[in-house]
Structure 1
C-alpha cells in the first residue's frame, strides 16, 4: 500500500463495492460518495477515531473521511482496513498535521461535521479554528481534556461562526461540542460496577436512575420505562434491551427500570480542611493520651474536693484554686492549716505533668491533621466498598460519580502525582500508593472484602493482571475493566465469564462507551447519558422529531420500537427558546413533559428524549 508523505496529495482509499446498506435496501436514496456534501470527517489515529468511523458508516450510513498521521502506526492499519477489507464508505487522508491544505483535501468545505479526537488539546483547538474559518457551518466536535479551556473555546468558535455568517444561513446555526472520553465513559463504568446502585443521568434538572428490580420490587420514584429484562442464573445469555409490553421477563424475573427522581441536590459538603470531612474529634488523639488527660482531670477533681472539705469553702471556688495551684500562679497558703499546705504542694507537683501532656496533645493533633490532609489509609474494618485502580483521567471521573452515589471507595494508584490523587485527598478517600500488580497492594486495599473493583489504569495488561489477582482474593468480586482495545475487551470478558461463571465480570473499551456521544454530536444531536447493561449499552438521547418518518405524525405509542427505542419525554417549547444543553444538572426552567400521553401526536417542531440501543439510535437518526 502506497502512502503520501505530505499534506497533498492525500491518499484516497476507495471502498470496494459491497452489499447495499440498510437505507438502500429499504428503498431510500443512498448517500453520495465521500467527496460530496454532507459527509463526515474524523481527525485522529486512536481507538476513538476508529470507533467513530465504524459507527458513522454502519449505524448512521454516512460516508467518512479519516485524517491520520500514519497508516503504519497506531490504529492507522485498522482504519485503512475499514475500506479495503470491510468495504465501508471510508476515505483516508494521510498527513502529519491537520493543516488548512489537508482539511481542504479532506473536503471540510462541504462536510457536515468534523470530529477532532487527538490527545493534544492545542492541536485539536487549532484544527477547529482552521475548519471554522473554511466552513462556518460545519458542526465541530472536539475532544478536550481541559474542561475550562473547552468551554471557552466552544463559545469562541460559536461566536466566530455567527460573525462570519448572515442570519438564516447554515453557518449561523453551526454548533461546537466539546467532549471528554473520561467524562462520557465514567457513568457507564460506574453503573456496570455497582449493581443495585444505579447509573444516574441528569436531564432537564431532574435525575433519571436505572435500578435493578426483583419480580415484586418497587421503584422509589416514577417508573418511566423497562430498559431490559435481565438474565437469571444463565449469565451467558444477554439481556433483552427495551422489551415490548408482550415480552416476558427472563428466568430470574429481574428488570432494569428507569425511574424519575426529584431535582438533584447540590453538593453541600463545605470545604474545611481537605480530607477532614467526617473526622471525629476522638481520632485526633490516641487512647493512651486521652487516658492520661482524663487521669489528670480526675486528680484535679480529687484535690478540689479535699480542699473544699478541709476549708469549708464553695466547691467551685476550691476547683478554681486547684487549677491555679496546678499552673503555679496562686499565692502560697502560708496562713492556712498544714493539710491545706500539703494539698497545695501535691497539686503543684501534679502540675508538672501538665506541660508534657499539653505538648503531646499538640504534637499528636498536628500529626493527625497532617495525615488527614495528606492521604488516608483504608480503615481496618472497611467492607462492601468499591476499589478503583488508577486515578488518571478516567479514574478521577469515576471517583466523582461514586462520591455522588455516596459509596465507600478505596483507590489504588502507583503515581503519587496523578491528577486524581489530589481529588481523592479532598474527598477524604483512602488511597493505597503502589503498583496493583505487586504483592500486597490489593490486599492493603481490602479487595477481599470489597463489593466491586474497577481497573482503570492506562495499561490494559495491568488491568487484566490486577483483575486476575483480585479474583484469587475474592472469586465472587464484581470486576469492571476499562480497556482501550475493544477486541481485547471482548476476548477478556468471555474468558473471565467462562472461568468464573458465578461472578460478574465486565470489560469495556473506553472508546466504545464514549463513541456514541461523539457520533451523535456529529449528527447534531446530544447523548444525555449511557447505561451499561452487561456488554451492551443503552443511550439516553435528545432527538428532534423533524422529518424523521419513524416519529413525525405518529402518536407517542405508535412511535415506540421495542428493542430499538422508547420515548421518555416530550419538549414542546419552540426551538428558539429551548435549552441548548438538557444535561445541565441545575435547570431554572424545566421544559420536558415526562411520560407524555400515548395518544399525543408528535409534530415537526417537537423534541423527544428517547432511550435507545446504539443500533436503534443510528437507525432513527440515519432515516432523518
Structure 2
C-alpha cells in the first residue's frame, strides 16, 4: 500500500477490530461536516484518502478517524476500508460520476449495506434510487432550497408531515412579558430567539420548558397542529411579513418604459437629431426669405426643406428658376440632409439590434418589475431557488456572470429574465432593480463573492436596513464559522450554510435515523426525525423527561395500539416498537440515537469530544 504522510493511515480494516463503522468518500464541503458529526456522536468513521486533500486529512486524523489510501480501484479500496463489516457508505465526492461509481460498486460488494449518495442529476438520482436498497440518494440543492425560499418569502410558518398529521412550526413574536405557557398554552416550544444589541450574536435557547420567561422582542418557535394554534387564537392566515410591493400604475409604468427607451439610445443619436433639426430650421428661414416666384410662407419653407432633406420630390416646388446662390444652397442642403439622415438611421439600427440583444439578457424585461426576488448565481442552487420561487407565484430576476451558463435554457423555460454582469457592481444590481425587489438570494458557489454581493445589496438598503421592513438578503455561505462572523458583523439575519442545512440528512440516513425535515432558527439548525425504539435498546422503559434537555418528543406512535399520541406526557415511557418523533439540534438527536444503540451494540463506545472545526 502507498504510504501517506498523514497519520493515522490504516491498512485494510480488519472486521474484528472495526465493525459497524461508516465509510465516507469525499471531504470537501459537506463531507468534512458529516465526518465531524458522525465522530461527535460516537460513530467509528473511515475516510478514503483519494477523495480528500492533505489539509482535510490532517483534520480528521487529529480526531483519530481511520484513513485508507487508494488500492487502485473502487472495489479494492472499499474492501480495504472494511465494507464487509461497515454500517454505511456515504458518497459526497464533488464528482457525480465518482459518487455513482462508488455507490454502485458498494452495492455490488454488499447488497445490505446502507449507501447514501449525493446525486444532483435528478434523472440519474431516480434511476439509482430505484434499486438502491438500504440508504438514500440525496440532492444537497433539493434539501437546502426549501429553507432558502422560506427565508426569501419571509414565511414564519414551516409545515411538516409527522405520522398522519401535518404539524406547523410558527415563529411568533412576543409582545409582552410572560412565560411560553402563558402566551401559547400547550403548544410545544422548540426554540426562543433573543435578539442581542450591537454586533453581538442573537441567543437561541433550544427546546425551553413551557415556563420559560420571555420578553417583548423575543421570537418563539412553537410547534403544533393547525387545530392547536386555533385553540390558542393564533392567526396563521397571514404568513408573517410576506410583503409584496404594490405594482406601479399604468402611467408610471409607461413613463418608466419611455425613459428606459430614451436611455437606450447612444448620445450620438441626439447630436445627429439636433444637427438635422437645425439644418431644417435654418433652411426654412433661408427659403422664407430668398425663395421667389412664388413667395413662400414659413410653413411652405418648412415643408420644402423637409422634402429636400428627405430627397423626395412631389413637383410642387423646385429650385430650377431660383437664384444661383439658392440653388447652391439646395445642393448643400441635400448632401447635408442625406448625411445626417444616414447617421440617424445608423444609430436607430444600432439601438434596435442592441435592444434585441438586451431583451435576450433580460434587462428590458426586468425594467418594470417591482416586488420581485433577485437570485444571484445561476448554478445548481440558483436555478432550483428560481424555480421554487416561480412556482410560488413570485416574479424572479437572475443575475449571472457567465453568458455561457449551462442553466440558461432552464431559465428561459421558466420565463425568468437573466442579467449578465458582476453582481458586486452597483450598475448590475440596478439593472436587476434590486432597490425595487422584495428579497435577494445570493447563491453563487464562491463564499467571498456571496459576501461581497450581500454587502453591496446592504449598502443599497442602508436607509431601512435596521428597520423591520428591511429586505431579506439570503446569503449562501459554505464555511459555517465565516457565515456566523459575517452575520454578526454586518447584521445579516439569513446567512445559510448549505452544509449546516443538509448534513443532518446524510448523517441520519447513514445511521438509520429517518430525517423528516430541518429548519433554521437564526444560525441554529433543528432537525425533525423519526426513531424506532428497538427491543433491547436503552430507550425502552425510559421516560420522556429523561432524554436530553435539548430534545423534544413531539409525537409517539405506540406499537401496541398503532395510535399516535401528541404531545405525549413528560412521564410517558418508551416501549419497544414505538415510533418516536423528535425535534432538536441534530447533534442532540444523534446523541439520542447513539444512546439508543448502546445497550444492544457492544462496539458503540463513547468518543472523546471533537472540536467544532467548521464553526
Paired with 1:111 and 1:553, the residues of 2 have a C-alpha distance of 29
Contact 1:496–1:505 under 8 Å retained in 2: no
The equivalent residue for 2:108 is: 133
Deviations 1:139-194 (A, max 9, x none): 11001111232222122232xxxxxxxxxxxxxxxx03000111122233334444
| Structure 1 residues 376 and 528: alpha-carbon distance in aligned structure 2, compared to 1, 3 A threshold | farther
The equivalent residue for 1:78 is: 56
The equivalent residue for 1:512 is: 500
Paired with 1:97 and 1:621, the residues of 2 have a C-alpha distance of 36
Shift of 1:399: 2.9
1:461 matched to 2:448: yes
| Structure 1 residues 418 and 597: alpha-carbon distance in aligned structure 2, compared to 1, 3 A threshold | farther
Contact 1:395–1:420 under 8 Å retained in 2: no
Deviations 1:302-321 (A, max 9, x none): xxxxxxxxxxxxxxxxxxxx
1:382 aligned to 345, 348, 370, which one? 370
| Structure 1 residues 378 and 127: alpha-carbon distance in aligned structure 2, compared to 1, 3 A threshold | same
1:526 matched to 2:504: no
Secondary structure of 1:230 counterpart: strand
| Structure 1 residues 371 and 209: alpha-carbon distance in aligned structure 2, compared to 1, 3 A threshold | farther
| Structure 1 residues 10 and 78: alpha-carbon distance in aligned structure 2, compared to 1, 3 A threshold | closer
The TM-score normalised by the length of structure 2 is 0.65
2:459 aligned to 467, 472, 485, which one? 472
Shift of 1:239: 1.6
The equivalent residue for 1:558 is: 545
Paired with 1:34 and 1:444, the residues of 2 have a C-alpha distance of 64
Paired with 2:560 and 2:84, the residues of 1 have a C-alpha distance of 30
The equivalent residue for 2:382 is: 395
The equivalent residue for 1:124 is: 99
Paired with 2:186 and 2:409, the residues of 1 have a C-alpha distance of 38
1:602 matched to 2:574: yes
Shift of 1:535: 1.2
Secondary structure of 1:157 counterpart: coil
Secondary structure of 1:177 counterpart: strand
Paired with 1:561 and 1:258, the residues of 2 have a C-alpha distance of 18
Contact 2:527–2:583 under 8 Å retained in 1: yes
The equivalent residue for 2:83 is: 108
| Structure 1 residues 69 and 140: alpha-carbon distance in aligned structure 2, compared to 1, 3 A threshold | same
Paired with 2:412 and 2:497, the residues of 1 have a C-alpha distance of 28
Paired with 2:409 and 2:153, the residues of 1 have a C-alpha distance of 24
1:495 matched to 2:489: yes
Contact 1:113–1:138 under 8 Å retained in 2: yes
| Structure 1 residues 55 and 608: alpha-carbon distance in aligned structure 2, compared to 1, 3 A threshold | same
The equivalent residue for 2:480 is: 486
Deviations 1:242-297 (A, max 9, x none): 111222125524212234359xxxxxxxxxxxxxxxx9xx99xx99xxxxxxxxxx
Paired with 1:429 and 1:448, the residues of 2 have a C-alpha distance of 18
1:156 aligned to 128, 131, 147, which one? 131
1:65 matched to 2:46: yes
1:443 aligned to 410, 430, 443, which one? 430
Deviations 1:539-566 (A, max 9, x none): 11111122586743245x536644x221
Shift of 1:92: 1.4
Secondary structure of 1:42 counterpart: strand
Q: Which runs of 5+ in 2 are unaligned?
A: 228-246, 256-354, 466-470, 597-615
Shift of 1:434: 2.5
Shift of 1:618: 1.6
1:570 matched to 2:564: no
Paired with 1:489 and 1:228, the residues of 2 have a C-alpha distance of 21
Shift of 1:513: 1.9
The equivalent residue for 1:247 is: 212
Contact 1:552–1:603 under 8 Å retained in 2: yes
CA RMSD of aligned residues (A): 4.0
Contact 2:190–2:552 under 8 Å retained in 1: no
| Structure 1 residues 608 and 40: alpha-carbon distance in aligned structure 2, compared to 1, 3 A threshold | same
Counterparts in 2 of 1:125-524, with a 5 A limit? 125-158=100-133, 175-203=134-162, 207-215=166-174, 225-232=188-195, 234=197, 236-260=201-225, 377-378=365-366, 380=368, 382-383=370-371, 385-403=372-390, 405-416=392-403, 418=405, 420-475=407-462, 476=465, 477-497=471-491, 504-524=492-512
Contact 2:501–2:525 under 8 Å retained in 1: yes
The equivalent residue for 2:584 is: 612
The equivalent residue for 1:275 is: none
| Structure 1 residues 417 and 130: alpha-carbon distance in aligned structure 2, compared to 1, 3 A threshold | same
Paired with 2:138 and 2:378, the residues of 1 have a C-alpha distance of 19
Paired with 1:561 and 1:404, the residues of 2 have a C-alpha distance of 39
| Structure 1 residues 373 and 418: alpha-carbon distance in aligned structure 2, compared to 1, 3 A threshold | closer
The equivalent residue for 2:339 is: none
Contact 1:142–1:178 under 8 Å retained in 2: yes
The equivalent residue for 1:93 is: 68
1:45 aligned to 27, 31, 34, which one? 27
Contact 2:71–2:77 under 8 Å retained in 1: no
Paired with 1:251 and 1:154, the residues of 2 have a C-alpha distance of 48
Paired with 1:379 and 1:43, the residues of 2 have a C-alpha distance of 47
Secondary structure of 1:484 counterpart: coil
Say which one has the larger Rg. Answer: 2
| Structure 1 residues 89 and 224: alpha-carbon distance in aligned structure 2, compared to 1, 3 A threshold | farther
Shift of 1:97: 6.5
Paired with 2:536 and 2:218, the residues of 1 have a C-alpha distance of 35
The TM-score normalised by the length of structure 1 is 0.64
Q: How many residues align?
A: 456
Paired with 1:461 and 1:94, the residues of 2 have a C-alpha distance of 32
Secondary structure of 1:395 counterpart: helix
| Structure 1 residues 38 and 226: alpha-carbon distance in aligned structure 2, compared to 1, 3 A threshold | same
Contact 1:191–1:532 under 8 Å retained in 2: no
